[in-house]
């Protein structure tokens, strides 16, 4: 059985991903803080998984040009469930017209 991660573990994991992305883009804490209007300590706390506001998290994503990550939380629907109701199964046999019954 796979044990789910705790909230704290998920926060640390998100923070590590943000830090790795910042370093890939060769940005300092000061530069990200300047782009977001946050303090350096707020960005540092977010990267360390110590918690932050959702607004701060989104601001850092925008500063890293990764706001599209939020789209993965709820991908757009590509199949309309109502269309599936009306869709028939593929035919298995050819249709032959019935012969008229005697007396009809």
C-alpha to C-alpha distance for 15 and 31, rounded to whole angstroms: 17
Residue-range domain boundaries for the chain = 7-71
Average pLDDT per block of 10 residues along the chain, 104 residues long = 86 94 95 96 95 90 92 75 72 78 72
| CATH 3.30.110.70 given to domain 7-71 | no
Q: Which pLDDT value is given to residue 3?
A: 84
C-alpha to C-alpha distance for 51 and 72, rounded to whole angstroms: 21
CB contact set of 57 (below 8 Å; sequence gap of 6+) = 14, 46
Q: Which pLDDT value is given to residue 104?
A: 62
Q: Which pLDDT value is given to residue 13?
A: 94
């Amino acid at each position: 059985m796979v044990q789910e991660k705790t909230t704290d573990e998920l926060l640390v994991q998100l923070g590590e991903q943000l830090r790795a992305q910042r370093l890939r883009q060769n940005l300092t804490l000061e530069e990200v803080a300047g782009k977001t209007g946050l303090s350096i300590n707020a960005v540092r706390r977010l990267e360390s998984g110590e918690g932050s506001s959702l607004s701060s998290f989104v601001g850092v994503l925008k500063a890293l040009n990764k706001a599209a990550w939020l789209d993965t939380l709820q991908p757009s629907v590509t199949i309309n469930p109502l269309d599936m109701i009306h869709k028939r199964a593929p035919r298995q046999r050819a249709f032959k017209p019935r012969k008229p019954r005697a007396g009809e």
